[in-house]
Every structure is written in structure tokens, then in C-alpha cells.
Amino acid sequence: MADLNESLKKYFGFNNFKGEQKEIIQNVLDGKDTFVIMPTGGGKSMCYQLPALILDGTALIISPLIALMKNQVDSIRGVSEKDSIAHFLNSSLNKSDQLRVKDDLRKGKTKILYIAPETLTKKETIDFFKELKISLVAVDEAHCISEWGHDFRPEYRRIKEMIKGIDSDIPVMALTATATPKVQGDIQKNLGMSDATVFKASFNRENLFYEVRPKVDVLKQIILFAKERKGKSGIIYCLSRKKVEELAETLQVNGIKALPYHAGFDSNTRAGNQDKFLNEDTDVIVATIAFGMGIDKPDVRYVIHHDMPKSLEGYYQETGRAGRDGGEGHCLAFYDYKDIEKLEKFMAGKPVAEQEVGRQLLEEVVAYAETAMSRRKFLLHYFGEEFDEEDGVGAKMDDNAVNPRPREEGSDKVKLVLDCINELRETAKAKYVIKILLGVSDSEVKSYKHDKNECFGKGKDREQSFWMAVIRQVIVAKLLRKEIESYGVLKLTDTGRDFIANPKPFTIILDHDYVSRAEDDSVILNQKAGGGATDENLFKLLKDITKSISKAKNVPPFAVFQETSLMEMATQYPITMEELTNIQGVGMGKANKFGSEIIAAIAEYVEENNIERPQDFVVKSVVNKSGTKVYIIQNIDRKRNLEDIASAKGLTFDELLTEIENIVDSGTRVNLDYYLNAVLDEDKQEELFDFFQDDAETGTVEEAMEELADEDYKEDDIRLMRIKFMSETAN
């Protein structure tokens, strides 16, 4: 063991090992199978790199991260004078490169070879490795073996047979940064490592602060967050490539050095953007989960999830890229249950078992986002680890701990839940148990005659979210357990049975109500800039100016600026044309046509009243480059039938009209006369135009429908004529 310190110093220049690295490496050198569960930043790679350099022969490192193998190989070559000490073998190499790698392997020059599992499945590869002396096989990202892991790869299921095909006596290592007890069992079973020595480091990253916010006005929140940390490195994860590109561009126009990264870019672009981030030529990378796997940038100060990921394991691994140097690490996630519903829809069409697994993993994500208990305690419990939320290392390092939610004594509520589960003979999932407590008498409940149960309806004085919070907290308190193999059926523990017989005090923490919070802030969702309280005096002044412009131009006031736009102006105080175009419903055309008097009045008002403008809070929007909008405008110019335009873009007619309304409301003019003349009589067109010109107060479709209820107008007719009116008078 003493010699290991010398080897560490010789190869890597370190004086001391981290955590259990030394014991792990000795276990490998002793020829024993080894299973390492160690959080990101704990030093997993050292656990196979050092023994590989010490042992005779070549170590095979099986990794799914083809795009990052070169980085890992370069880091190994940095400890040696010879490049041949480490290679990778995957589909990115051409024929001559593969021959050169194999030649170095035959000559015994190569100590470490990174290989993709897909490459290892080929018979010619197995036959080639039989010729070599293999010192050990390390399976990196071993969670990919399990369908319960966050990145399941079917080809990982064949690794055991591939290793046996080379030599059944080779010592095997499995390494992962995330593994729930279920995933851990899957890995050991699938690799035939039931006798392996298991080294499990704590999952408690004490320097990370965990926070979840409702997904309201998310662009503004992200820009503010990044501006407050100007010059610091951050990663922002999005689920879609389109959102990655849009968000990166929006950050750039708001003065934040940001670059996009996703698998759709060519390899040069990906590598270039990654290098700029590593070399600190850019502060922020906006990425899909394709970025960051294996990236060793120690000073990432924050990780933001624009969208909640598909599993808590994925979330934990991605947040683990923050603060790897032990310094500040802020993990901020934005949550909206609608995003979860979208992810559930994506699962449609997959095998039923896969859908069940996916849904249960998503339920854990929802539970984490909505919980009011310490997020650190919740996460560590998920990974099978206890945590003292009052005195544990890293306590008070999450939003719930800093701003605790209300609590209430709830032993009677806990007993009711446990009694209900007992009465259902421990055969139900949480949602069904809650259905019984709330007294929901649907066909499923009636078919099992559970509406006759003693517990039926006994919890209808509280909401569904309350009972879900109780169940989550009771699981963490180990009165219940979720049986994963049966997709989340609730089972009583011995402690839970004892509680039924002898109830004890139990404090229930009330959950966040994200739904009502999102509804409270719904106005902000429709703003480009948003925020703050409306300045009523300025709002009245702007309404008067709008009326005077409307009289001068002989158009109704709403055709100049709609009230929602005026309210936002009275919040943001725009005093330049550029700032005015950041206001909802104000495009460049409308700003140029009506804006000069407005911004002059606001500038004078700001100066007279000594107002500090919230311009740091204004989110500049990028020019909308939506292919759909461009396509619609071009095809209207070509006088193409609207139904055909909708069909070509996979839109309903209603959705197409909404797109056209948005185009017109932002200041772009369109001419629909060719279509209107085909579907609506000239007299009706004139009558509707006159209504918007002379009688309408707000100019909305709803107002027209109500005022013209006695007339024979379809809603689509009114919408089309409003588009014509706004296009001709307002733009």
C-alpha cells in the first residue's frame, strides 16, 4: 500500500489519495472484482488508471462516451512521454488509425485502451483481444446496464459475454456516479459480480446548493441569474436541441458569453464550443445532456435545468458537474408539471414495461420538485443514504431548508394512510390509495368494491397534493417502502405496522403549491420583459397619448397599442426604439409608426419623477427566425390556400390563425384579401371591418363575438377580418 503513494506521485504528481481510492486500487491489484459507486468529482477514473499503469498488459475501459474518449486519452498521455501509452478504439477512427492502434497494442506499448461497447461486440475485436494480455476490464458509466438507470444502453447487457469471450479470469471493475439500490443490484447481477467488493462513497455533495423554482418567466430568471454571476462558469441543460440554440442566442444578445452544444452539431463545432468553455473563452454552455459527460472542469459555479430531466439519477449526475473543486455550486431547476406530461407523451409507443419504468422515474422527479422537505435529505434517501437535515454536513444548503414550509402535527393523517394501505392488502400504488382516501368512486374502485372500505372518503377534507406529500414523507421515514419491481406498489414496513398499533407524533411538512403560484404569475408568462408593478400614473398618461394618436391616425386606440403593451411600458419604462420593441406586441414596424411620441413621454416622465428604470431586468428577444412563420408569410404572399399552408406544416386551421395573429400583432403586415374574398361576402367583410373601426373598444375576437352574437358570423370569419383590420391600420 505504501508503494501506491509512490506510484501516485510518479504518474500523477499527487501526494495523497482521495477518499477510498487507495483501498479500491489495492483491491484491483489483488485481482478481485471491484464495484465503485462514487459521485461525480470523486476521482473514479484514477481508480482504474493507476492500476492499469502498474499492472502488466493492457486495461480495457468500456465507455459509451465516444465523443469524449479523446479528452480522456489526452489526459492519460499527459502523464507519459509516449502517446502510445493510451488509445481509444471506436467508429470515429479511420482504417489506418485503427491499424496503428492495433500495432501499438500488439507491441505491448499501450497500457490503457478506451473502447465503445458497440466496437467490442464485433467478433473480430474479441478475436484480436484474445491475442493480447488484458490486465483488467473497467466498465465505466455502469448504470447504463440497468433499465432503471438514467441512461440505459441495451448493448451494455452483452458486456459480460464479451468479457468471457476474451478471458473469463480477467478482473472486472464497474464504475458509476449514480446508482440507486435497485440499479446497483442490476449492475452486479448483469456483470456476474455478486462477489465483488463494493465501495460506495457518500452521495452528499456538501458544497452544492439545491433550488427548484416554478417555471414562470424562465428566460428572465435565467438571464438575471447569469448576470449576477458574470465571469463565472455555468452549464444550462435543455431537453431539446431547438431550445438549446434559442436560449444560447438569447443569452448572447443580453450580454452573456454563451455557446450552444448538442449532438446535432458537427464534431468540429461541438469540440470547438467545448474547448472555448474549458479555456474560459465563454462563460456559459447551453446544452442537451450530450454535454458534460466526463468533462473535468472543476470550477463550474452553477448548473441550471431549464427543463426537469427524465430521472433523479440524471438530475444528480448533471448537477454534480458544479463545484467539483469544492467551491460554490448552485443547482437551479425550473419546474412545470406540463413538462412532465410532455415527457410522458414521448413514451407512447414504447414497450409497456419501459413505459412503466419511465413513468415511475418521472414520478420521483415530480416528488423531488414538489417536496417541501430538505432536498438534500430527499436526494440522499433516493440513493439509499441517511441524512440529518439539522446537523448533517451540507445542512441548510437548499431552498426548502433556507425557507422552510409550514408544518403541522399529522400522526392521525399518517395512520389513516397506513390503515388504508393495509386495508388494500398492500396491492396499490400511491395514486390509487389517494383515490380511496378522497372517496373517488370511479369504475376501477367500484369493480374492486373498494368504495365499501372503511377508509373510503375519510381524507376528502384535504387535497390530493397533501396526501401525496404525506405518502412521500412516510416513505422517507421508512414506515412505507415502494416496491420497485412492481412499479411502485406501496408496502408497509415493520416500523409502519408498529405505527398502526402504537401511533407516535409525526410532523408533516406542507408542499409547495406550484400550480397556484404559476397561475398567480400567468401575466408575466405572456410578456417579453415582464416583472414589477404597473405604474398607474404612467399607464393613464400612455392611454391618453394612445387615444390622441388614434384620433390623429383615424384608427381605434387598440390598433395603436393594446392595453397589455401599455401596461408593460408602464412597468419597464422604455425610452429608446430598441427598448420599445422588447415590449409585448410591439414590432419594429409598429414602433416606427407610433412609437416616437410614446418614448418621448416616458423619458420625460422618468426624469421628472426621478425613476430608477429596471432596464437590467429587460430581456432582449432575438429576432424570431422560426421557419414556420417565414413559411406562412411567404406562402400568403404567393396567395396559397390557408388550409394547404396549415396542412403542409402539420397545423390545425385554428393553430394557423393563431400563428398569423401573432405575426400581425408583432407588427408585420399580411394581405389575406385573396382568401377572404373566396370565403366571406363583401358586405360581411365591410360590416366586420366597420365594427373594429368604429364600435370595438378592446378589439378582441371575444368582444366581436359577443357584440355580433345576433349575426351569422363564424369565429374564424371574425378572426380573419381582425387580422385584415390590424394589418391595414396598425402595421
pLDDT-derived band at 529, boundaries 50, 70, 90: very low
CATH 1.10.150.80 residue ranges for the chain: 526-617
Whether the pLDDT of residue 357 is over 90: the answer is no
CA 429 – CA 432 distance, rounded (Å)? 6
CATH 3.40.50.300 residue ranges for the chain: 2-200, 208-402
Q: What confidence tens digit (pLDDT) does each residue in 361-377 have?
A: 888 898 898 888 899 99
**Which secondary structure element, helix H or strand E, spans residue 589, and what is its range?**
helix 588-608
Query: What's the pLDDT score for residue 150?
Result: 66
Query: What's the pLDDT score for residue 292?
Result: 57
Average pLDDT score over residue span 598-624: 76
Q: Which range (184-193, 215-224, 519-528, 615-624) has the least confidence?
A: 519-528
Which CATH code for domain 407-509?
1.10.10.10
Query: What's the pLDDT score for residue 517?
Result: 41
Query: Which of 288-302, 321-335, 336-350, 649-663 is most confident?
Result: 321-335
Whether the pLDDT of residue 519 is over 50: the answer is no
Answer whether 331's CB lies under 8 Å from 209's CB: yes
Between residues 525 and 537, the one the model is more confident about:
537
Return the residue matching grid coordinates 466526463.
294
Query: What's the pLDDT score for residue 296?
Result: 66
CB atoms within 10 A of CB 129: 23
Q: What confidence tens digit (pLDDT) does each residue in 183-201 have?
A: 888 899 988 888 899 999 8
Query: What's the pLDDT score for residue 114?
Result: 93
Average pLDDT score over residue span 495-522: 73
Between residues 156 and 619, the one the model is more confident about:
156
Query: What's the pLDDT score for residue 423?
Result: 95
Average pLDDT score over residue span 476-491: 83
Whether the pLDDT of residue 521 is over 60: the answer is no
Q: What confidence tens digit (pLDDT) does each residue in 227-275 have?
A: 989 889 999 999 888 899 989 999 998 889 999 998 888 888 988 898 8
CA 529 – CA 244 distance, rounded (Å)? 20
Specify the CATH class of 526-617 in words: mainly alpha
Query: What's the pLDDT score for residue 182?
Result: 84
Specify the CATH class of 2-200 in words: alpha beta
Average pLDDT score over residue span 61-89: 80
174 beta partners: 35, 139
Query: Which of 3-12, 250-259, 408-417 is most confident?
Result: 408-417
Query: What's the pLDDT score for residue 518?
Result: 38
Which CATH code for domain 208-402?
3.40.50.300
Query: What's the pLDDT score for residue 394?
Result: 84
627-730: what fold?
Arc Repressor Mutant, subunit A (1.10.10)
Name, in order, each residue with C-beta under 8 angstroms of 634's C-beta and a sequence gap of 6 or more: none
Query: What's the pLDDT score for residue 530?
Result: 33
Q: What confidence tens digit (pLDDT) does each residue in 95-118 have?
A: 899 899 999 999 999 999 999 888
- Write the DSSP assignment of 219-267 as a string of letters: HHHHHHHHHHTTTSEEEEE-SSHHHHHHHHHHHHHTT--EEEE-TTS-H
Q: Mean pLDDT for the chain? A: 85
CATH 1.10.10.10 residue ranges for the chain: 407-509
